[in-house]
């Protein structure tokens, strides 16, 4: 079978924050970045219920994460190649994790064993629903009959048009992750300051602005969207919102977007524990296509 006619798989990491039912409906192979809660490791088939995870964080649990296991990634890729598939793997941002590097290394080693096959590992430079939205468009194009090369080209052409905006409800988690200083955490908490951040062109988490009060921070996400949409306004087929066990606030942002822009197609999902470990409960994040990040 020629490479143009071979079937191919589109896979990603759990950091795309897809709902479980969406993963099952679309048969998406998921590579897991694990998380540790009070010394116990989770991931793959062993996971906490999401509300339990965030409640543990609220109650002071010690949490941390680590990247995909290169040997596990290699095992997954080898099985797919052996079954006759080529692979497009869309990885978590290299600016936030070594997961992409691990996947790229595994792919390079396997292509030496399967020289006639193809594995394209894409550094999404995205996180959470940004990564999810990136994968969603790739899957849609695959269903429309686009080729391996056409999908890879689209992914490379539009990577920096995946806009990320998010805000957190409690500065303690950004402080724990080294994103803000103790002084900023203390005074920000006293003054009810809510930072608004985004993922930049290098796939790194950077602050954009600070606002006072939760509601203003949520509205600020939509204000940024208005600024970034430009000529991409009509290109958005799905708006993605993720949250750290804060569905009511996610629905508030959805309603603001509907009111301003008229979008009707949304995906709303909880942050996975891997992302939630760093952002914390109460996080709200918004993702869409725009003229720039």
For the chain, the structural domain boundaries read 8-159, 161-289
Convert the pLDDT of each residue in 69-116 to its tens digit: 889 999 999 999 999 999 999 999 999 999 999 999 999 999 999 999
Cβ burial, residue 261 (10 Å; 0-12/13-18/19+) = middle
Sheet holding 162-167, edge to edge: 205-212, 193-199, 162-167, 284-289, 239-243, 266-270
- Kind of pairing, strands 162-167 and 193-199? antiparallel
Contact status, residue 196 vs residue 182, Cβ threshold 8 Å: no
Predicted local distance difference test score (pLDDT) of residue 177: 60
C-alpha angle 200-203-208 in degrees, rounded to nearest 5 = 30
Q: What is the pTM of this model?
A: 0.93
Contact status, residue 287 vs residue 266, Cβ threshold 8 Å: no
Domain 8-159 matching CATH 3.40.50.10170: the answer reads yes
Calculated CA dihedral for residues 141, 137, 34, 160, nearest 10 degrees: 120
Question: What are the Cα distances from residue 268, in Å, to 115, 154, 171, 203?
Answer: 40, 24, 23, 22
Between helix 70-82 and helix 99-113 the angle, nearest 10°, is 40
* Structure tokens given for 117: 């096959």
**CATH class of segment(s) 161-289:** alpha beta
* Continuous segment of H or E residues that includes residue 5: none
Convert the pLDDT of each residue in 232-289 to its tens digit: 999 999 999 999 999 999 999 999 999 999 999 999 999 999 999 989 999 999 999 9
């Amino acid at each position: 079978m020629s490479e143009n006619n071979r079937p191919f798989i589109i896979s990603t990491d759990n950091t795309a924050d897809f709902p479980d039912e969406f993963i099952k409906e679309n048969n998406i192979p998921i590579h897991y970045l694990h998380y540790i809660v009070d010394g116990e490791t989770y991931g793959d088939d062993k996971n906490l219920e999401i509300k339990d995870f965030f409640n543990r964080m609220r109650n002071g649990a010690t949490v941390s994460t680590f990247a995909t296991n290169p040997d596990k990634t290699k095992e997954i890729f080898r099985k797919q190649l052996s079954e006759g598939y080529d692979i497009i793997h869309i990885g978590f941002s290299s600016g936030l994790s070594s997961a992409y590097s691990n996947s790229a290394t595994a792919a390079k080693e396997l292509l030496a064993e399967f020289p006639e096959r193809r594995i394209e590992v894409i550094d999404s430079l995205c996180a959470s629903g940004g990564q999810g939205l990136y994968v969603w468009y790739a899957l849609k194009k695959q269903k429309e009959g686009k080729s391996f090369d056409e999908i890879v080209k689209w992914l490379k052409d539009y990577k920096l048009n995946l806009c990320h905006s998010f805000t957190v409800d409690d500065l303690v988690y950004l402080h724990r992750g080294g994103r803000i200083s103790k002084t900023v955490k203390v005074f920000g908490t006293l003054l009810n300051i809510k930072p608004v951040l985004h993922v930049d062109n290098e796939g790194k988490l950077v602050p954009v602005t600070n606002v006072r009060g939760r509601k203003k921070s949520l509205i600020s996400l939509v204000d940024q969207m208005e600024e970034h949409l430009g000529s991409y306004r009509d290109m958005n087929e799905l708006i993605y919102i993720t949250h750290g066990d804060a569905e009511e606030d996610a629905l508030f942002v959805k309603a603001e977007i509907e009111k301003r822009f008229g979008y009707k197609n949304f995906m709303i999902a909880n942050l996975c524990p891997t992302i939630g470990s760093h952002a914390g409960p109460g996080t709200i994040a918004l993702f869409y296509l725009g003229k720039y990040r």
